Amino acid sequence: MVRVNLKGIHRVRMKLADGSAREYHYAWRGKGAPKFWDSASGIPMGGAEYLEALAAARPKAQAAKGKFREAIIAFLDSADFTTLAPRTQADMRKSMYHPTSGIDAKFGGAPMAAMNDPRIRTEALKWRDGIGGKVGDDRIRHLQRIVRFALDRRMIQQNQLRDIRSVYRSNRAEIFWLPDEIEAFHKGAPAHVSRILAIALETGLRPGDLALLSREHIHRTPHGRRIVIWTQKRKRLASIPVTDRMAALIDATPADQARLIVNKRGSPYQHENYLGDAVSQWRDTLKLRRELRLYDARGTAATRLLEAGAELKEIATHMGWSLKHASEVIERYVALSPAMSDSLAEKLRKAEKRTSL
C-alpha cells in the first residue's frame, strides 16, 4: 500500500491553443518542483499510479534541492523540453544522463550557486574538450540550454556559458552522389533499399522525414501533385513538387501500403537510422565510395533543382538552408561535376552571344 502526503501539491490549470483545458500537478509549489501528473496522461487523479508517481517524484527532487540537478529536473518537466521533437529529446536525455560524461554526472551534484562562478566556464570547456568531436559540442550546447532555462527561472543569477563556439567542423557540402554512383546503386541494391535513395534524391528530405513520408502527404494541384509535410527537425512546412520520377515511385507503391518507404518485410522502418544503415550496407556491398551516406542525397537533390532552373533563393528555401550554405553546396558540386561545368559553360556562351548581338 502506498502512503503519500497529499499536502503541498501544486495544481496548474492551462487553456491550450485549441481551446481545451489541461491540468498539471507538481510535487510542491516553487522553483524546480517536478511535474508528476498530466490530465492528458489517462492516469486517474488520486489513483494508485498517481500516488506512486508523486511518491517517486518527491524524494528524487528533494535530494536535488540546492544542486544543479534541480535545474535539470525542472527543465525536463518544462515545455522548453517537452515541446521539442522526439529525436531532440532523446539526444538531450543522452547528453544529460550518460553514465560517465553526461551533464548530470559532471555538474548535477554541484551547488546551484557554482553556476554563477566564472570558473565554471573553464570547467565546462575542459569537460567538452575531454569528450571531443561533435558529441562534445552537442553536450555543451545542451548544457547551455539548461543554464539559460535556469537563468530565466531565476534559479541562477549569471550565465557564464554564453558565446561558446563549436570546435567540431563537418563540411559534407563537397560529397555528392554522382550519376554513375546512383545508377550503380539502383542496379545493385534490392528494390526496397534502392527506393530509399531514389525518394531522397527526388525530395531532398532528411531521413527522419523520409521514414514518415506517406500517401497522406501527397496533394493534388492544378498542374500535378505536391508533397506537403511538416519537417521533423526544423518544424517547417515543406512543399515539394512531385517530379516525373517521384510520380512513378508513388504510382508503383502498392495500394495497401501507406508509407512510401518500407523494409523488405513491407513494414515501416522503426527508426530513421535504419534507412541510412540500409543504404550504407549496400554502398559497401557495391564497393562505392565509403564516404557516401543517405544524408548526402540532400545536396544532390539541391543540385538537381539548380539543373532544373531553380534560383539560389528557391533552393535555399526548399532545403531549409541559408543562402550562404546553399551557394557553397552548389559551388562545390559544379567543381566536382564535369556535366554541370559543361552545362554552365554552354549557358555562358549563349549569354555572351546574346550580348554581342
Q: How many domains does the chain contain in total?
A: 3
Contacts of 261 (CB under 8 A, 6+ apart): 192, 195, 196, 199, 210, 211, 213, 268, 269, 275
Strand order of the sheet with strand 21-26? 10-15, 21-26, 35-38
Question: What is residue 191's predicted lDDT score, i.e. its pLDDT?
Answer: 95
Among 113, 146, 170, give the residue marking a domain's end. 170
State yes or no: pLDDT of 112 exceeds 50.
yes
Question: What is residue 280's predicted lDDT score, i.e. its pLDDT?
Answer: 92
Q: Please, which pLDDT band fits residue 125 given cuts at 50, 70 and 90? A: very high
Same domain, 56 and 79: no
Same domain, 236 and 273: yes
d(CA 340, CA 198) in angstroms, rounded, equals: 20
Element housing 218 (H / E): strand 218-221
CB 123 within 8 A of CB 73: no
Q: What is the mean pLDDT of residues 76-101?
A: 84
Q: What is the mean pLDDT of the chain?
A: 83
Question: What is residue 240's predicted lDDT score, i.e. its pLDDT?
Answer: 82
Contacts of 344 (CB under 8 A, 6+ apart): 334
Same domain, 198 and 345: yes
Q: Please, which pLDDT band fits residue 2 given cuts at 50, 70 and 90? A: very low
Same domain, 299 and 211: yes
Q: What is the mean pLDDT of residues 212-235?
A: 86
Q: What is the mean pLDDT of residues 248-260?
A: 93
Same domain, 205 and 57: no
Domain interval for residue 349: 179-356
Instruction: List the one residue out of 184, 181, 185 whose CA is nearest residue 195.
Output: 185
Same domain, 73 and 59: no
Q: Grid coordinates representing 202?
A: 527526388
d(CA 36, CA 51) in angstroms, rounded, equals: 9
Q: Where are the alpha helices (DSSP H) in 189-296?
A: 191-203, 207-212, 244-251, 272-285
Same domain, 217 and 161: no
Same domain, 29 and 83: no
State yes or no: pLDDT of 355 exceeds 60.
no
pTM of the model: 0.54
Among 170, 202, 237, give the residue marking a domain's end. 170
State yes or no: pLDDT of 284 exceeds 50.
yes
DSSP state of 30: S
Least confident of 9-23, 160-174, 199-213: 160-174
Same domain, 197 and 274: yes
Same domain, 347 and 246: yes
Q: What is the mean pLDDT of residues 157-170?
A: 84
Question: What is residue 357's predicted lDDT score, i.e. its pLDDT?
Answer: 52
Question: What is residue 344's predicted lDDT score, i.e. its pLDDT?
Answer: 47
Same domain, 256 and 305: yes
d(CA 96, CA 122) in angstroms, rounded, equals: 19
Question: What is residue 337's predicted lDDT score, i.e. its pLDDT?
Answer: 60
Among 112, 147, 170, give the residue marking a domain's end. 170
d(CA 270, CA 267) in angstroms, rounded, equals: 9
d(CA 353, CA 327) in angstroms, rounded, equals: 26
Same domain, 256 and 327: yes
Q: Please, which pLDDT band fits residue 27 given cuts at 50, 70 and 90? A: confident
